[in-house]
A and B are shown apart, each in its own frame.
Chain A
Amino acid sequence: SLAGFGSLMQDVLWCFSQVKGTIDVGVTEADIISTVEFNHTGELLATGDKGGRVVIFQREQESKNQPHRRGEYNVYSTFQSHEPEFDYLKSLEIEEKINKIRWLPQQNAAYFLLSTNDKTVKLWKVSERDKRPEGYNLKDEDGRLRDPSMITMLRVPVLRPMDLMVEATPRRVFANAHTYHINSISVNSDYETYMSADDLRINLWNFEITNQSFNIVDIKPANMEELTEVITAAEFHPHHCNTFVYSSSKGTIRLCDMRTSALCDRHAKFFEEPEDPSNRSFFSEIISSISDVKFSHSGRYIMTRDYLTVKVWDLNMENRPIETYQVHDYLRSKLCSLYENDCIFDKFECVWNGSDSVIMTGSYNNFFRMFDRNTKRDVTLEASRENSKPRAILKPRKVCVGGKRRKDEISVDSLDFSKKILHTAWHPSENIIAVAATNNLYIFQDKVN
């Protein structure tokens, strides 16, 4: 319920609800979750993994007998979305890893989602079948064709109930439009078009047309030697179907209006925070690279994630963000090591809650962080099997920077950098979050009083 939804940080206690995935010590690479997304009602939760599979969970109906269980998510459908491919021309593999999943709003009984790997976007239809026709004239119950000359009477087939079957079918395949790796897809508010963005270009598609797309942004220089900046993420405005934003590896955000010209190379707005010259180092540019950009539900703000911070920008103010939150500033003195082991290139995502009052993003050691924009309080929580008793309240975690480590704190040097929370999702209207920790999906809910 929305009552009390804009709760203050101190009133929200997060509890463990479920965890999906195996507990094996060795993780199969293919099982690593690469994207998580709730649909528009929160009834469905989709994950994509490195093996190209999509798993959709459905929330079960709430039961009056067990009100505290508040609807668990159970597997609804599993399918292989993308397969590995080989580009013979370039002699390179194309990974089947699902980079992003985006749901379409539901317009009939079936569910539709877009899933993409580095090169190809697919539209999947997920539908239920709980009846089947029986009593065909031309074939028998096993499906074998009958000899028409043997048929002496006709009957009308009837629909009989059957066990629920959920089938996923690929309805459209949008291929061969991206030379570089797709990092984002975004459904337009007109529900007729969507965009796909790679490192250098953004294309606009109509859902009905697969053999053609419009190129709306192209930042590829004539001479590739001059390349110094790439597109890192892109998203449509939630309400204005002509407006979208894209972020870059130099920490900038451009807002574009498709009404001004066909090729949106000239931005309508340009968001960039001036650099603090006293903070400059060789790693400044790398840590300013934006890994994710998200419009608020209201459409008034955008949130960006760079390596160390999350920033909230007002669309009406281009010269600096209105809010900056430190995710893990204790890593600032470790940038050289993080550069060496490539962690500095990790792309963390960020999400808004339904009322745009709280934002969430991941960190290392399976930690994730939430920031309440109103109270300015923040909390660090951990997704771990140890905290996985049903309805167990998550205890806030703390990283200690200085010498003296308190009992429950963890020191920076003890952090496990292989355990990174890159992908999280927040239910559109309730305090339910999904956190992907390598090959496990954790679902947390707020405590029901």
Chain B
Amino acid sequence: MFVRGLKRKCFDGEEDIEGTLAGIKAIPSYNLQRQSLLDMSLVKLQLCHMLVEPNLCRSVLIANTVRQIQEEMTQDGTWQMINTQSTGQASLDRLVSTDILCRSSREQAEGKHVPGYSTFNKDFEGDQAQDSSETMSTASSVQASRNLQSNVWEMENPQENKGNFQKSLDQIFETLENKSPNSVEDLFSEVDNSYYDLDTMLTGMMSNTKMGHCDGLETFSSPTTTTSNSNCKSDLNELDHIVEILVES
């Protein structure tokens, strides 16, 4: 459901029109961008798995970034709030620029406000124009769309979600420790049964030129991810997927 073949602009810098409702160039709220960064980071951790041992430094830095986001989201209460967003929203089928996140807090204080949740809703409504806030990877759009649909699951278990997040992050490092296959399967048996729709994600990833060492994606047959509820996509529970994929080959 993401759009291909679009010429995307690297949305950095000048043309900020924060909070415009006109839909000309609406910039997603800070929260949305932060969420997008979180999703991107989770995907990166997932793709850390390959034939060669993953780069530990990179994994640690990404994981630290994820923790930072989680902490901030916990502090300002968006951790649960974001999960209770209306599920009836139109899916976000374009990319979310994380431009605001690139700016220092000083710059942010100058021009931008941290929007409340009403703005969050508004952004979704206003963002009909294709060209707004685009970044270079198509994967983020898939992520964003899943976020909305994942709300159902998360609404039910917000607390568990947090716990699972931390647990899954830990599992990444345990797996990086290269446990023997048997014990990792035990790990795997604890995993919740809501998974990414790998096919959709993989299709998105394939169009990303900077694949480098992640060429082994096509080997992901994901035999164990079958679930009756294939539409049940979860946001942070995908970390369980990370474990599975880390183990996979």
Contact = CB atoms under 8 A, between A and B. Distances in A.
Contacts of B65: 282-283, 285-286
Contacts of B56: 180-181, 199-200, 230
A333 B102 contact: yes
A335 B61 CA distance: 14
A225 interface: yes
B136 interface: yes
Interface string A154-183: 000000000000000000000000001100
Contacts of B57: 199, 230, 232, 249, 289, 345
Given A181-B53, A230-B56, A281 B105 contact: yes
B120 to A, nearest CB: 18
Given A90-B178, A95-B52, A281-B103, A337 B10 contact: yes
A348 B135 CA distance: 25
Nearest to B105: A280
B99 interface: yes
Contact of A341 (B51, B68, B137): B137
Most buried by A among B12, B99, B101, B249: B12
A92 B102 contact: no
Interface in B174-190: 174, 176-178, 181
A227 B249 CA distance: 24
A249 B55 CA distance: 12
B60 A281 contact: no
Nearest to A286: B61
Contacts of B77: none
B102 A336 contact: yes
Contacts of B53: 90, 92, 94, 118, 181
Contacts of A286: 61, 65
A336 B52 contact: no
B40 interface: yes
Contact of B106 (A180, A181, A278, A332): A278
Contacts of A279: 104-106
B13 A92 contact: no
B195 to A, nearest CB: 23
B98 interface: yes
Interface of B: 10, 12-13, 34, 37, 40, 44, 51-53, 55-58, 60-61, 63-65, 68-69, 97-99, 101-106, 135-137, 140, 169-170, 173-174, 176-178, 181, 210, 212, 249
Interface of A: 89-95, 118, 180-181, 199-200, 224-225, 227-230, 232, 249, 277-283, 285-286, 289, 332-337, 339-342, 345, 413
Given A180-B56, A336-B12, A342-B210, 7 more contacts: A230-B57, A281-B103, A283-B65, A283-B102, A285-B65, A333-B102, A342-B44
13 contacts: A89-B178, A92-B51, A180-B56, A181-B53, A224-B173, A227-B173, A282-B37, A333-B12, A337-B12, A337-B135, A340-B136, A341-B136, A345-B57
